[in-house]
């Protein structure tokens, strides 16, 4: 949960920010699972969570226009 909150942009409405981030996160996880041919989502999530956290701040991504276009 802390890792997820760390990547959310600063906002007064964290619920809205999270709801915009989750579809993109789900697509990323699904594509990584397909690419890595991991046996299960659980295995992939465990692998993802076991990675050492970086001390570098998260890199800003270019905004996804579909988020703003509704």
pLDDT at 22: 82
Q: Comparing 66 with 20, which gets the higher pLDDT?
A: 20
pLDDT at 12: 75
Could you tell me which residues come within 8 angstroms of residue 53 by beta carbon, excluding any fewer than 6 positions away? 3
* Tokens read off for 53: 């956290």
Q: Give the mean pLDDT of 34-57.
A: 69
Whole-number Å distance between alpha carbons of 65 and 70? 9
pLDDT at 5: 65
């Amino acid at each position: 949960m802390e890792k997820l909150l760390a990547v959310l942009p600063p906002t007064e409405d964290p619920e809205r920010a999270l709801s915009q981030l989750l579809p993109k996160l789900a697509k990323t996880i699904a594509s990584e699972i397909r690419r890595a041919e991991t046996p299960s989502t659980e295995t992939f999530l465990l692998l993802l969570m076991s990675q050492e956290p970086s001390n570098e701040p998260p890199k800003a991504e270019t905004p996804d226009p579909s988020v703003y276009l509704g």
